[in-house]
Structure 1
Amino acid sequence: MVPVNDTTDDPTAVTDRDLEVLAEQLGRTPRGVVGIAARCVCGRPLVVRTAPRLPDGTPFPTTYYLTHPGAVAAASRLEAQGVMKDMTARLAEDPELAAAYRKAHEHYLAQREELGHVEEIAGISAGGMPTRVKCIHVLMAHALAAGPCVNPLGDEALAMVRDEWRPDRCTC
């Protein structure tokens, strides 16, 4: 776990206040947080970066975890609308999209590996990458953490929810 403090200029550092906000957002004590991967324009966490092994020893493949309630609700709405099935079908039909999604998978793996190697989850990213889409929350979290043009389906999901939620407008 990254040392926690409230006096840092590093926007990815986890402060005591961040942990309080995360507990409020999640409705539970956050686990394995090693950084804030993306923040709301007001400074509150949007996405946390999580250790590949939780403090209790559990392997945890979800490096980027979406925490902002508005973003979580927007991702859930897309999932309820069946967007995952449509995106997965497009991966099978569009070789360029599939190649870009595979690169997103590789990026995700590399980012997690920076935090430590966990054999049980080696080669497994999150969200269904690289062959399917099983979690819009993960794809949006990855897109928010990595920035545009890294995860094409995460970018697409963010564009789809833009009228409901977007990272450049505070709804905290």
Structure 2
Amino acid sequence: MPIQIDEAGLEVQAKELVDRVMADKASDDDVALVKKQLGRFPRGMVAVGARCVCGRPLAVVTRPVLPDGTPFPTTCYLTSPEATKAVSRVEADGSMQHYTDLVQHDETIHAQYERAHRLYLAFRHDLATRLGDSEEHIAGTSAGGMPVRVKCLHALVAQTLVMGEGVNPIGDMVMKRIAGEFDPKVCRCTTELD
């Protein structure tokens, strides 16, 4: 049975999400801290999409076209070293095949994952429109392997952090699984503040 998705509802939700995210535009201090978290300059960072309870960035929102003109479909980008390490352990233990099997064989998960993909595209489109960026080079491409497989849990967890629980079922599952190591409501940040 084809998946029925309310596209107009997605556009409204995406606009509201972009409104919320752009209200927390990246400050110079945010960029400096994310640079420390990543060990490199955060190219194209426009906003902090999710923060730890202590205020440090956990995930950022990146523009669809980087300053040098490079297409960049990963709009929600995980920056927290603690989250990245915890998610990397899940990826390394072979769980991605299990999550892909869920996406491909569980109708409910498949429908939710397809909706998460569509919301990601609508979110990026609204962001691109506001920033004057082109998306033609990444049309139809979201992140993390959506909508048909699980390729990058970091991207899916970033979507959960930026857009909230209940948006991406795989991101939600991974967040529950790593709660003992990473939880945005419990500060375990190790990146030094200046």
TM-score w.r.t. the length of structure 1 is: 0.92
1:3 corresponds to: none
Query: Following TM superposition, where does structure 1 have runs of at least 4 consecutive aligned residues deviating by more than 6 angstroms?
Result: none
For residues 181 and 56 of structure 2, the distance between their equivalents in structure 1, rounded to whole angstroms, comes to 18
Pick aligned residue for 1:16 from 22, 28, 35: 28
2:14 corresponds to: none
Instruction: Give structure 2 stretches of 5+ with no counterpart.
Output: 1-21, 129-133, 190-194
Count of matched residue positions in the alignment of Structure 1 and Structure 2: 163
Larger helix share, 1 or 2: 2
2:49 corresponds to: 37
Q: CA deviation at 1:33?
A: 0.5
2:119 corresponds to: 107
User: Do the aligned residues in 2 keep the contact of 1:11 with 1:36 (CA within 8 Å)?
Assistant: no
SS class of match (2:148): coil
User: Do the aligned residues in 2 keep the contact of 1:139 with 1:153 (CA within 8 Å)?
Assistant: yes
Q: Does 1:133 align with 2:150?
A: yes
Q: Kindly, what percent of the aligned residue pairs are identical?
A: 51
Q: CA deviation at 1:67?
A: 0.2
Q: Does 1:73 align with 2:90?
A: no
Instruction: Give structure 1 stretches of 5+ with no counterpart.
Output: 1-9
Q: Does 1:168 align with 2:185?
A: yes
For residues 114 and 102 of structure 1, the distance between their equivalents in structure 2, rounded to whole angstroms, comes to 18
Deviates more, 1:58-67 or 1:160-169: 160-169
Structure with more contact order per residue of length (Cα contacts < 8 Å, sep ≥ 6): 2
Question: In structure 2, what residue type is equivalent to 1:133?
Answer: V
User: Do the aligned residues in 2 keep the contact of 1:88 with 1:132 (CA within 8 Å)?
Assistant: yes
For residues 63 and 12 of structure 1, the distance between their equivalents in structure 2, rounded to whole angstroms, comes to 15
1:118 corresponds to: 135
